[in-house]
Amino acid sequence: MSHSIHGARVLLIEDNEGDYILTKELLAQRPDLEFQLEWVASADEGLAALIENRHEICLTDYRLGTANGLEIVRRARERGSEVPVIVLTGEHNQSVDAEAIEAGACDYLVKRQLSGDQLTRSIRYALVQRSVEDKLRALARTDQLTGLANRGEFMSELDFALRRSGRGAKAFAILYLDLDGFKQVNDTLGHAQGDLLLQEVANRLTTCLRSVDLVARIGGDEFTILALDVESSRDCATIAQKVLAKLSEPFRLGGHEVLVSASIGISMFPDGGRDADELTRNADTAMYRAKKEGGHRFQFHSNEITSAARDRIDIESELRKAIAAGELDLVYQPQVCIGSGQITGFEALARWCHHRLGDVPPTAFIQVAEDIGCIRELGAWVLRRSAMDYKHWERLGLSGPSLSVNISAHQLNDPHFPESARAILEEAKFDPSKLVLELTETAIIGDLGVARSNICRFHSFGARVCVDDFGIGYSGLSQLRDLPLDVLKIDKSFVHNLLNRPKEKAITHAIIDLAKRFELEVIAEGVESEDQARTLTALGCGLAQGYHYYRPLPSAAIGELCAKAAATNSDSVRQSANVA
């Protein structure tokens, strides 16, 4: 707020209309200053207006009916009002004068002796005092070298965040950051350059963080960040990663190009500490661990969170490249007819062998692909690659089975998906009537209209659509009603409990029944034993997929299966020809 006297909004708390008119006339003696007077006649209204902090200055009567002007000043101060107040009184009284200043008033004036000049002078003085106080307050909160908040301000904001957290605010985290290599800069280039470096670090920190985050310098080359509204360790890791990247760009100091980095310790509320002490201690310890590991990295208060967050960052940063470079792989799990054991289809399942993390399960990287926006590339790659593998199996003698491909919500909601899929299949010369798209119940969110028209488009090429993991989502039945589906896949959790839980068996039975009524094909996944297969047959489900029959296999192994089956078939054809 500006503290200029010109155009100042003046709040007058005065229960006597005559005195209001008098004050108005006094202020009107200086028309050039254009005061904007607002009059309230009761103590309560006055207090309410003061708390809103929208006036530059307040004039209050000493006696307000039964209330006392000084009492209002005291209560307003307690409730955060910063408006300077001048107390007006009927007659002079030495002790009230002193009391007024103690209560937080700036001045104490006797109404009857007051001139317009005196009043203006007192207002001007109060405003000057107010801006000096503001400046002092700001100075006390600021680190002189960098202009960032200082330790005191950081601790008071941390306290505030802790108090807010009790009232349903989102989680927050603190990051302790210590520069790696600062001492060398100081020793070799001198303290002036060291100071410049700290200022530039402060600059980079403020520009790369969100405006809700508070950055402070708490000493030497130590900085802290109070990151508000972080939802997960992943959010914190993203912030830390951004800071590390920003600080690893070279600094130019007095003609030298200087490289520094940072060690960051993170503690998240409430797991990393329930109060300010514990949170800062844990962040500090984590920072030392990061430093001990060689610096230029972050550490969470717990090692488990650190490694999960680092894995996630590796996955995020490398997945896109891995897709583009064809480093992902596909395996195929056969689907069979329970009665004859014959293979009726193959489901393509994505695999990624990461150089450091080893086999990353699709449940970990599919979600990341969705989050970082490369699920379409991944989906296109899966379709192309599986269509090509399938063509290869055909050349080895395969004919008949379908090819199931999993698709995600983003693909289903993309109006261009059917056309791009068709182009891929055409290029691979793959017969689209062999294709089954598998969507999980949860994939069918978003625009139902787009989903429906995409499914219809796929039907027009002859492809079919299967609801995967049926029964565990929440919208299964309405999907059956609203969407033109072809196949229903019973989730493996029902199959696992088929033999020991009567309720799961009842649900499985109901799903199979439902599929029949909707004239859908039904298949059970996760079949691991003969007993499960027998029960499924008894309930009316004839198709299955699971470890009992085949594990997911590499393309080459499927090729061998196809070649073997083709050989057996032609043998049996030859044998029957011989018999004839």
Binding site for ligand C2E (CB under 6 A): 333, 349-350, 361-363, 366, 382, 406-408, 438, 440, 468-469, 492, 525-528, 546-547, 552
Tell me the residue type at 360. V
Residues 98, 87: Cα–Cα separation, whole Å: 12
In sequence order, what DSSP letters do the residues of 75-88 get, joined into one string? Answer: HHHHTT----EEEE
C-beta of 194 vs 526, nearer to ligand C2E: 526
Helix-strand-coil split of the chain, %, nearest 5: 50, 20, 25
C-beta of 301 vs 434, nearer to ligand C2E: 434
Q: At closest approach, how far in Å is the CB of 410 from Ca ion?
A: 16
Q: At closest approach, how far in Å is the CB of 406 from Ca ion?
A: 5
Sign of CA dihedral 207, 212, 216, 221: negative
**Which partner from the list ligand C2E, Ca ion, none does 349 bind, CB cut-off 5 to 8 Å by kind?**
ligand C2E
Among 469, 515, 520, 522, binds Ca ion (CB under 5 A): 469
| Size of residue set near Ca ion by CB under 5 A | 4
Show contacts with Ca ion in window 389-418 (CB under 5 A). 406
**Which partner from the list Ca ion, ligand C2E, none does 69 bind, CB cut-off 5 to 8 Å by kind?**
none
C-beta of 224 vs 408, nearer to ligand C2E: 408
> Nearest CA to 226 among 279, 277, 302?
279
**Which partner from the list Ca ion, ligand C2E, none does 546 bind, CB cut-off 5 to 8 Å by kind?**
ligand C2E
**Which partner from the list Ca ion, ligand C2E, none does 329 bind, CB cut-off 5 to 8 Å by kind?**
none
Q: At closest approach, how far in Å is the CB of 534 from ligand C2E?
A: 16
SS (HEC) of 93-129: CHHHHHHHHHHCCCEEEEHHHCCHHHHHHHHHHHHHH
Residue nearest to ligand C2E according to CB distances in the complex: 546
> Nearest CA to 8 among 25, 45, 33, 40?
33
Q: At closest approach, how far in Å is the CB of 494 from ligand C2E?
A: 12
Q: In sequence order, which ranges of 182-302 are alpha helices (DSSP H)?
A: 182-189, 191-208, 233-247, 276-292
**Which partner from the list Ca ion, ligand C2E, none does 547 bind, CB cut-off 5 to 8 Å by kind?**
ligand C2E
Q: At closest approach, how far in Å is the CB of 149 from Ca ion?
A: 51
Under the criterion CB under 5 A, does residue 306 sit at the interface with Ca ion? no
Under the criterion CB under 5 A, does residue 221 sit at the interface with Ca ion? no
Residues 387, 230: Cα–Cα separation, whole Å: 42
- Sheet with 85-89, strands from edge to edge, namely 36-40, 9-13, 57-61, 85-89, 107-110
Under the criterion CB under 5 A, does residue 486 sit at the interface with Ca ion? no
Q: In sequence order, which ranges of 413-554 are alpha helices (DSSP H)?
A: 417-427, 448-461, 476-482, 492-496, 502-517, 530-539
**Which partner from the list ligand C2E, Ca ion, none does 436 bind, CB cut-off 5 to 8 Å by kind?**
none
Which conformational region is residue 318 in: left (phi greater than 0), alpha (psi within -120 to 50 degrees), or beta?
alpha
Under the criterion CB under 5 A, does residue 438 sit at the interface with Ca ion? yes
**Which partner from the list ligand C2E, Ca ion, none does 361 bind, CB cut-off 5 to 8 Å by kind?**
ligand C2E
Q: At closest approach, how far in Å is the CB of 245 from ligand C2E?
A: 30
Residues 345, 331: Cα–Cα separation, whole Å: 13
Interacting residues with Ca ion (CB under 5 A): 406, 438, 468-469
